[in-house]
Amino acid sequence: MFTGIIENKAHLIEIIKNQTNVSFVFESSLTPELKVDQSVAHNGVCLTIENIEGSRYQVTAIEETLQKTSLSEWKIGDFANLERSMQANSRFDGHMVQGHVDQIGFCKNIIDQNGSYRIDIEYNPKSGNITVEKGSICLNGISLTVFNSTENGFSVAIIPYTWEHTNLNALKIGDKVNLEFDIIGKYLAKMFKPFAEKLS
């Protein structure tokens, strides 16, 4: 379980393909605090630490993960947002995040608003995922507040600290992003879907 509050970034230095799986070797100043078999969210995707050597560590994504996230787009030199799983005695600063990406979205626009940035995201609504105005969304592992919520898109506002300390500052129009929708919203949408179908 995560909260969407990014701790650090990791630099991708090696990609290893093994049948349908892909292993990623990262370098990070957070590595000395990691341990093998630990779950760490990378751009919002929960991955298990398999090996640690000095400042480097390795994780592997299976085919299912590669198909449903933007990890297949990673290139050597990219940076991933990192968050270790939450502790039971820590403050809950973001929102409830599972590290299970629901679908990818696409960056439609990035607007410099003289002190903050607005990012517009579009996604395929056929999956049944929804956002609500002032609700929560996890974008590349970052807990953010939704505005301009529509059937197939939304906007988020990025404060300078988040812009500087995550990989959002490398985002370009057209890039894929990992989206995890609010777990409570997903349960409610599923519960009320049969009633909505009867009314339509």
Domain ranges of the chain: 8-84, 103-187
Give the number of other CB atoms < 10 A from CB of residue 175.
15
Map tokens 């957070």 to a residue: 30
Q: If pLDDT is split at 50, 70 and 90, which confidence band does 199 have? A: low
CATH number listed for the domain at residues 103-187: 2.40.30.20
Judged by DSSP in three states, 111 sits in: strand
What CATH number was assigned to the domain covering residues 8-84?
A: 2.40.30.20
Tell me if domain 8-84 and domain 103-187 are identical in fold. Answer: yes
pLDDT of 86: 85
95-104 per-position pLDDT tens digit? 888 899 999 9
Tell me, what's the pLDDT at 158? 96
CA-closest candidate to residue 26, choices 73, 68, 58: 58
Q: What is the rounded distance in angstroms from the CA atom of residue 112 to the CA atom of residue 116?
A: 6
Q: What pTM was computed for the model?
A: 0.89
pLDDT digits (tens, 9 = 90+) for 22-40: 999 999 999 999 999 999 9
**Considering only CA atoms, which of 195, 198, 108 is closest in space to residue 156?**
108
